[in-house]
Structure 1
Amino acid sequence: MTAAATPPAVHARAPGKINVFMKVGSLLDDGYHDVATAYQAISLYEEVFARDADDFSVRFRGPIDTAGLATDGSNLAIRAARLLARTTDYRGGVALDIEKHVPIAGGMGGGSADAAATLVACDHLWGTRLGRDELQSLAAELGADVPFALMGGTAVGTGRGDRLSPALAQGTFHWVLALADSGLSTPEVYAELDRHRERHASDIAPAPEQPAVEVEVLQALRAGDAHQLAEYLYNDLQAPALHLQPELAQTLEQGELQGALAGIVSGSGPTVAFLAADADAALELQVALSASQLTVLRATGPVHGARVVSG
């Protein structure tokens, strides 16, 4: 399934994400949890450059320390390329160069963005011409956050987070991201959530079997109202992330003292996302947190999902 002429190199990009709301259901028999989350794609991108090759390989560069990332067949981007090749009977390979800007193990879906951009880049490079729906199906095989990195924008995710429904969002939301010095393992955070619930079983409501995103969150997004959204930012994984990295509590307190409307641990953490009232407030918050020796970035959302930039 190859076109007569395919480009020698393709540049695609996919965004990181923030979970502005996340409810986690009870532990299931298969060891997983159903979730209900409101995703927003933000202007922090993974850049993937794909070139024809006989085999599959990946290299990393960019401002993020990638020394600990796997570059063998376990890497999610290589798994994405191999899956597309198998699905379309493509017989060649690809050399991937990935410029990383999304924190690793930071709860912002950087690896998922790599996979989504790789699917789009290789589909274009190889001329396999799968439709968007088919690419979404492949993305769902790769991981819970990969379909959203492909879709982008704002969406509600249910099931493992991969069953997506687009959500209306007006205007632009301004975020300041405080990056941690070390990452958190998603399975470890979920395991800590289960322990947290067991420890406090007499004090907290039981986990829902079928979690849902609160309607007020969707109303705030639809209205483009940052002040309203700030009241409803919520993440069931925040408490276990704070238990595993207690210093995150100080980061949250600092951001809110410096003028953030609200702060939240994104996904399984440890990145803390602060919502600002507007662009000027976000800049002031970035400057103040930087002066406190925190590593911070500004971003806006929502933005488009994975797409080809050139090639």
Structure 2
Amino acid sequence: MRNSVAGLTVRAPAKINLHLGVGAVREDGMHPLLTVYHAVGLYDDLSAIPAPDWRVGVDVEDYIDPAAVPLDGDNIVDRAATLLAAHHGVARSGDLQVTKAIPVAGGMAGGSADAAAALVALDRLWRLETSDEDLLALAARLGSDVPFALVGGTAVGTGRGEIVTPVADHGTWWWVVVLSPEGLSTPEVYRHFDRLFPDAPATPPAAGELLAALDSGDPHRLAATLHNDLQAPALDLRPDLARRIATGEAEGALRGLVSGSGPTCVFLCESGDHAREVAGALLAGSEPPVVLVANGPVAGAHVVTHG
């Protein structure tokens, strides 16, 4: 292995799906997707330093259950490291620490962010100089959302979501992010989609109107075009999320939406001040949830410290 660097920290963002179009399940059990990914300013950090062996540790924010983060040697950071090491024919080594602020099983691709951060951090720690094309190919093997976690910004995802194309986004969009203490299984949400929509078209719905709204920079126009085909099955499985969306919109949010397969709900607001007002109103409820404010688009996985 080439000489390693002293250590570094990589930051990777959460994502929300501004548009999530789902086609009918294929014979291989997968669903074709057309999605518009949007990276927001809620991050996981991964720090890596040289070590003769391999270790992954995790710290979490107080709203995340540490037991929900697997540390059995087969989590997504381990898998990312194994893939990258095998690609270059090197041994896996290093002492890694993940600091999580993205909710687990929340529909915001926190695991994918960690995988992307691991690929970037270890590529530099091990001085591999992997091409962008190869990093994206490795990312796609780890999960549908991992390539976008590398790219960041706002982008269209096709295939299973792993084919990522950046798009014009001339807005700064402000979101209230409302977490749920109880996760929601992505496979179960897809299965319920199939039950609810047995005649779903083979081709997922297009996102042309939403892309035009992004190009305009108008939050009201964007609110009117937000779309998630997984929202109906998620709300059917979790009626409390429908009540949460109704509450957020009643408090002034332009639009509420389930993030991905849920259960996190996101609310588009007019500005940062408006988002903080809506967040404050939600926190003042009789059973206040965990509420965060984030803006987007932000950069994909990137080095924030290097030493």
TM-score bracket relative to the smaller structure: over 0.9
C-alpha separation between the residues in 2 aligned to 1:212 and 1:52? 47
Task: Specify which of 294, 297, 303 is matched with residue 302 of structure 1.
Answer: 297
Equivalent residue for 2:85? 85
SS at structure 2 position matched to 1:27: coil
Q: What are the superposed Cα offsets for residues 204-226 of structure 1, whole Å, 9 maximum, x if unpaired?
A: xx322122432110001111111
- Specify the alignment match of 1:197 in structure 2: 197
Cα deviation per residue 1:116-152 (whole Å; 9 max; x = unaligned)?
0000000010101112221111101100000000000
Which letter maps to 2:46?
V
**Pairing 1:172-251 to 2, within 5 Å after superposition:** 172-198=172-198, 206-251=199-244
Residue type of the partner of 1:52? P
Amino acid at match of 1:54: P
What CA distance in whole angstroms lies between the structure 1 residues aligned with 2:207 and 2:14?
23
Q: Which residue of 2 aligns with 1:153?
A: 153
| CA separation of 1:144 and 1:190: change in aligned 2, threshold 3 A | same
What is residue 255 of structure 2 aligned with on the other side?
Answer: 262
Give secondary structure in 2 for the equivalent of 1:41.
Answer: strand
Asked if the contact 1:184/1:268 (under 8 Å) is kept, the reply is yes
SS in structure 2 at match of 1:33: coil
CA displacement 1:35-94 (0-9 Å, x = unmatched): 110010000011001122333332111212221221123200110011111111122412
Q: How many residues align?
A: 302
221-230 or 267-276, larger mean C-alpha shift: 221-230
Contact conserved, 1:102 with 1:108, CA < 8 A, in 2? yes
Q: Contact between 2:82 and 2:92, CA under 8 Å: does it hold in 1?
A: no
Measured in 2, the distance between the counterparts of 1:171 and 1:68 equals 34
Partner of 2:71: 71
- In the alignment, what sits opposite 1:203? none
Contact kept in structure 2, 1:38 and 1:213, CA below 8 Å: no
Identity percentage over the alignment?
49
Distance (whole Å) between structure 2 residues aligned to residue 55 and residue 70 of structure 1:
19
Of residues 254-263 and 49-58 in structure 1, the stretch that sits farther from structure 2 once superposed is 49-58
State the 1:165 CA deviation: 1.1
1:16 to 14, 17, 41: 14
> Which deviates the most, 127-136 or 111-120?
127-136
User: In the alignment, which residue of structure 2 is the partner of 1:132?
Assistant: 132
Q: Distance in 2 between matches of 1:52 and 1:72?
A: 21
**Contact 1:156-1:213 at 8 Å conserved across structures:** no
- Please list every run of 5 or more consecutive structure 2 residues that lacks an aligned counterpart in the other structure: none
| Counterpart contact for 1:106–1:269, Cα < 8 Å | yes
Query: Is the Cα contact below 8 Å between 2:68 and 2:104 reproduced in 1?
Result: no
Separation (CA, whole Å) in 1 of partners of 2:218 and 2:37: 16
Matches within 5 A, 1:108-119: 108-119=108-119
Counterpart contact for 2:81–2:92, Cα < 8 Å = no
Please say if residues 157 and 165 of structure 1, whose CA atoms lie closer than 8 Å, have aligned partners that are also in contact. Answer: yes
Partner of 1:58: 56
Cα pair 2:174 2:268 within 8 Å, conserved: yes
What letter is aligned with 1:18? I
Q: Distance in 2 between matches of 1:244 and 1:92?
A: 41
- Tell me if the contact between 1:217 and 1:232 (Cα under 8 Å) persists in the aligned partners: yes
Counterpart amino acid of residue 137 in structure 2: S
Which of 30, 33, 42 is the equivalent residue of 2:31?
A: 33
Rounded to whole Å, the distance in 2 between the matches of 1:72 and 1:174 is 37
The residue identity in structure 2 corresponding to 1:17 is K
- Structure 1, unmatched stretches of 5+, are 199-205
Distance 1:136 1:84 in 2: 11
